[in-house]
C-alpha cells in the first residue's frame, strides 16, 4: 500500500524532530539500510560549496554506487548511496534541523530516498513538503503508531508505484 505524508494537509504540520527521528527509525526497523540524497547547486556559486561540504560531511556514511530503483517506474540506475544507521540518522536530522521536509533550494539537501534492498520504501520530496511510503499491511500497522498525519493512496505528483517494478535494469 502507498501512504502519503503531506505537511500541507489540514491538521498536519511540518515534521517535528521526534516525528522525523521516528520515521527514520521505523525505516531502519523494517529493513532500510541505505539512502540517496540530492543537493542542487549552481556551479561557481556559494551553493556549490554548500553541496561540496555537505557531501564531505556525509562521506563517512558512503557505501559507493548501487544499482537502485528510480522513482516514476523508470528502471534502475547506478546511484551514490549512504548507509542508514544511528549515526547517519543523527546527521540527517542535523542537516534538516529535525524536519525531514526542510527545504531551502541551493542551501539544503533534498529528495531523500530510503531503500530496502534496491526498492524505495520512503521518498521525501522537500520542495513539496511531502513524502510517499510503500508499506506492507504489517508495516502500515506499525507506521500508524508513530502518530504522523497521513493518507492512504498515491499523491498526484509521486511516481512511486504501489508495487516495485522489476525487470527494467540498465543495459
Cβ neighbours, 10 Å, residue 32: 21
Between the alpha carbon of residue 17 and those of residues 27, 46, 63, 148, 151, the distances in Å are 15, 28, 26, 12, 21
In a domain, 114, yes or no: yes
Closest CA to 73 of 5, 156, 157, 168: 168
CA distance 29 to 43: 38
Q: Which domain holds residue 22?
A: 2-152
CA distance 33 to 63: 10
- Give residue 154's pLDDT band: very low, low, confident or very high (50, 70, 90): confident
Alpha-carbon dihedral sign for residues 75, 152, 91, 117: negative
CA distance 47 to 52: 8
In a domain, 165, yes or no: no
- Please check the confidence at residue 162 and state whether its pLDDT lies above 70: no
In a domain, 26, yes or no: yes
- Please check the confidence at residue 10 and state whether its pLDDT lies above 70: no
Structural contact between residues 5 and 131, judged by C-beta atoms closer than 8 angstroms: yes
In a domain, 131, yes or no: yes
In a domain, 160, yes or no: no
In a domain, 94, yes or no: yes
Average pLDDT rounded to a whole number, residues 11-33 = 90
The H-or-E segment that residue 141 falls in is helix 137-144
User: pTM to 2 decimals?
Assistant: 0.88
Average pLDDT rounded to a whole number, residues 113-134 = 90
In a domain, 158, yes or no: no
Q: Cα angle at 88 between 113 and 142, to 5 degrees?
A: 60
Question: Residue with C-alpha cell 556559494?
Answer: 46
In a domain, 115, yes or no: yes
- Please check the confidence at residue 171 and state whether its pLDDT lies above 50: no
If one counts the domains in the chain, the total is 1
Amino acid at each position: 500500500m502507498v501512504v502519503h505524508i503531506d505537511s500541507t494537509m489540514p491538521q498536519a504540520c511540518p515534521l517535528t524532530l521526534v516525528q522525523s527521528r521516528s520515521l527514520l527509525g521505523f525505516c531502519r526497523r523494517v529493513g532500510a539500510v541505505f539512502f540517496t540524497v540530492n543537493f542542487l547547486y549552481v556551479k561557481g556559486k556559494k551553493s556549490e560549496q554548500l553541496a561540496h561540504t555537505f557531501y564531505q560531511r556525509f562521506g563517512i556514511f558512503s557505501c559507493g554506487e548501487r544499482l537502485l530503483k528510480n522513482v516514476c517506474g523508470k528502471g534502475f540506475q547506478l546511484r551514490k548511496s549512504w548507509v542508514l544507521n544511528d549515526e547517519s540518522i543523527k546527521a540527517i536530522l542535523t542537516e534538516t534541523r529535525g524536519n525531514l521536509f526542510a527545504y531551502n533550494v541551493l542551501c539544503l539537501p533534498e529528495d531523500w530516498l530510503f531503500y530496502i534492498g534496491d526498492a524505495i520504501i520512503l521518498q521525501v520530496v522537500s520542495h513539496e513538503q511531502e513524502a510517499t511510503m510503500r508499506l506492507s499491511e504489517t508495516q502500515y500497522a506499525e507506521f500508524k503508531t508513530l502518530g504522523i498525519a497521513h493518507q492512504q493512496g498515491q499523491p498526484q505528483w509521486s511516481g512511486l508505484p504501489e508495487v516495485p517494478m522489476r525487470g527494467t535494469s540498465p543495459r
